[in-house]
Structure 1
């Protein structure tokens, strides 16, 4: 018996030894093959000079994003959103305590730092009225009176996953805010939550075009027949890619997405860099009038400002033809806005940031006599209460955020949006990765994030001595200037972009 056991043991050890030898031999063969491939290829200098070892460069480069985010970056230095901002959204979405201790990690010295001017006699929070909505498109057959000043910006089904759209739709309904469809068309997942929707008409006119790619009045009527669709937004440009249309990589163009957009499965979805039928301000006003007449609902446009002369000319044209031809709203995006995929030169260097363009737009509308006719919706990195409150004080009527709500879904800023590998399931169509995002659970977080945002906006407003966030004015905010001293926003903005005088 013992002899048999000993023999079995020896056989096991021999087998194990053979496996180890074979594994080492296979590894040696693999390394040799990789060495020969790297040494003889001519595309990568590092791999050619350092065969096999040079391959680790790409692995470490990939890990660098992870290590910077969690180990090396300080609370306030990471881009596009730092840890302090992300953490606030995460806590808000989970409905956790959002107080901190000891002192702020935010420096008050850098130029552009914002500070709100507290009142000696702050408004009592238990007696102040809540925010009052501002009607959009009062002359339309079906004007829109939003229930919330903080809403969900345009994110397409395609750029976002099915469970992400479902969670946003359900969460928007619970929060009482609207959700923008993005330029990818209307999906059943936008509708199923029951929230108010803004249909975005991109340059490819996905979801509203006929077989030849032209805008279809019949499709517009069908869209307007949905009670949930409350407004139509013509997308002229987007902050992260001004002068460039939407980009959806082919890996993310599933059969259902292709059917909604009317494009081939698995092929890159590249929208034109502008509307082919909008080449002038006259064309823009004609398009606005057409959509408003067909749908009966408010119509506006989205843009990021760079050149401002065209907008001055547009306002002069509106004054000439009368305010009835004006857009019902303008959604102003920032040069530091986000997107699923965009060329880096456009993302880094083209367009004006919202801190410069928003005050100019507000002041120019006032100078043109159109401020009461056209509502302003501000967008672009406005995802924490301080930045939203600044935009409201500067003159915005409504705020929309995309990445803020993405963080509420669990986005970890993995920077994988342009691929099909999002680890949290927010921007991927891989079923294995989507499994991590449970719509019912994340919908509650979307609603909590909105609730906390409104709570802290009111807190800031009360500290400044006004009834609510829509009562904030520029006098309530100061900004650090180049001199190192703070100045009222009116003084800071006065000479940033020259206003065009309207006679």
Structure 2
């Protein structure tokens, strides 16, 4: 409770100064006046319900006011800070001399291939993977209610499917990580029966198998022991208060072919709901091996979420982000090209996550090959994050990334849910307006030619010119020289 000591000290000093002004000299009012005003301001900080950082840190929290004032609104570059730097410079989207009227209804993307019996209409912007454990119960609930208000999806993260994900009425993408939390057997492996029971819940619209993430590709997720409360331990079937380190790899498959077959099994267990996987791309050859397994087995995931290496949170390993794996642009283009090259792009939708915060970000990623986008840090901002970078300590001043019930209680769920829904709605609306200014009526009309980069003074080139784009089935018919080595080395039976 040390965070309330400054307010207590101010109140004591105000009382002492007021007593001195009555008993000794009226000059004491020069001190009593400001102290009483500060005490009243601190009392208001405790009572107001909009800013959880001020409720948790009355008076002192106002020193962070500039950070707390950062709004996640279209056009705000600050939405990416402090977790990442600026995006690539000198890029722009190409406007048209014949723009069109913006669509009245926000576009959606149908997710579900030929083996999917319960397809889902995905919004252009959704909540990226953030688990209960990394986030507080109230933050999870606010995100879910925001998703319900805005009719978009929330990815549960790898921490399991908690009651807080289910209470708000929002659509869910249930993420299964290497720890199999939420469907974890006594031996720590995958429990098919528990998975099937939970996947049947109406709130679960899609299932996503996490292979890796931008914050820590090649490494399992970590939840510090200080955040492993009794409720978290019960949800994840782990000891209370002990740091949870997920394995770096899955136990249920060890080859690309086994991965594809396991995805098909998950979809069957989930009653035909869309099933896919998330990864931060490292080796092009390895992803081509997965594509080769899809072709060989005649099975495809319904979606692939590409996470950029620039992703991460305040709890991510400092040495990983931006150093392991492909940045989102390169990873996205690689996955899109590979699926096109094996003739399966029309069966698989691609999601993009990593530094997505504005309408322009959405349009940029769609032009690079994505069908929809996910956002994590921008959604955290919308739910109240002030960027304190204390996610791993359990002492988040905004009640967002903590399991301390007193700190979390400061987060007003109803207010933050409205902010999340409003942020998503306005950001997608901004993306639709940008596309209309480009003469684009539907997201599917966007091409790499609509995105231009200034490569040197006086020279600009579109993404259609900067990157190689494969034709449908080109890898099967005869790969170009630039892809030939990786395609020949890709083995469906070996990563």
Shorter chain as denominator, the TM-score bin is: 0.7 to 0.9
5+ long unaligned stretches in structure 2: 1-19, 25-60, 78-85, 471-480, 489-495
Aligned partners of 2:112 and 2:118 also within 8 Å: no
Residue deviations 1:361-397 (CA, integer Å, cap 9, x gap): 1122111101001110111111111111100111211
| Correspondence 1:409 to 2:383 | yes
What is residue 168 of structure 1 aligned with on the other side?
143
Aligned partners of 2:215 and 2:320 also within 8 Å: yes
Matched ranges for 1:391-410 at <5 A: 391-410=365-384
| Correspondence 1:444 to 2:421 | no
What is residue 449 of structure 2 aligned with on the other side?
475
What is residue 275 of structure 1 aligned with on the other side?
250
Aligned CA distance change for structure 1 residues 492 and 420 (closer, same or farther; 3 Å): same
- Measured in 1, the distance between the counterparts of 2:71 and 2:434 equals 15
Matched ranges for 1:65-464 at <5 A: 87-89=70-72, 91=73, 112-125=89-102, 130-146=106-122, 148-296=123-271, 297-322=273-298, 325-339=299-313, 341-464=315-438
State the shift of 1:157 in Å: 0.3
Number of equivalenced pairs: 411
Aligned CA distance change for structure 1 residues 305 and 483 (closer, same or farther; 3 Å): farther
Q: TM-score scaled by structure 1?
A: 0.76
> RMSD value over aligned CA atoms?
3.0
- Measured in 1, the distance between the counterparts of 2:87 and 2:160 equals 42
Deviates most, 406-415 or 492-501: 492-501
Aligned CA distance change for structure 1 residues 437 and 499 (closer, same or farther; 3 Å): farther
Residue deviations 1:47-99 (CA, integer Å, cap 9, x gap): xxxxxxxxxxxxxxxxxxx999988xxxxxxxxxxx8xx9451x46xxxxx79
Aligned CA distance change for structure 1 residues 402 and 454 (closer, same or farther; 3 Å): same
State the shift of 1:455 in Å: 1.1
State the shift of 1:175 in Å: 0.4
State the shift of 1:266 in Å: 0.4
State the shift of 1:350 in Å: 0.8
Deviates most, 186-195 or 272-281: 272-281
Aligned CA distance change for structure 1 residues 110 and 398 (closer, same or farther; 3 Å): closer
Residue deviations 1:166-206 (CA, integer Å, cap 9, x gap): 10010000000011110000110100011111111100101
Aligned partners of 2:301 and 2:348 also within 8 Å: yes
- Measured in 1, the distance between the counterparts of 2:101 and 2:191 equals 52
Q: TM-score scaled by structure 2?
A: 0.77
- Measured in 2, the distance between the counterparts of 1:388 and 1:121 equals 22
Aligned partners of 1:150 and 1:177 also within 8 Å: yes
State the shift of 1:262 in Å: 0.2
- Measured in 2, the distance between the counterparts of 1:223 and 1:111 equals 41
- Measured in 2, the distance between the counterparts of 1:257 and 1:495 equals 45
State the shift of 1:285 in Å: 1.3
The alignment partner of 2:313 has SS state of: coil
- Measured in 2, the distance between the counterparts of 1:406 and 1:337 equals 13
- Measured in 2, the distance between the counterparts of 1:129 and 1:449 equals 16
Deviates most, 153-162 or 284-293: 284-293
Matched ranges for 1:485-500 at <5 A: 485-494=459-468, 498-500=482-484
Aligned CA distance change for structure 1 residues 219 and 498 (closer, same or farther; 3 Å): farther
Larger-Rg structure: 1
5+ long unaligned stretches in structure 1: 1-8, 14-65, 72-82, 93-97, 101-108
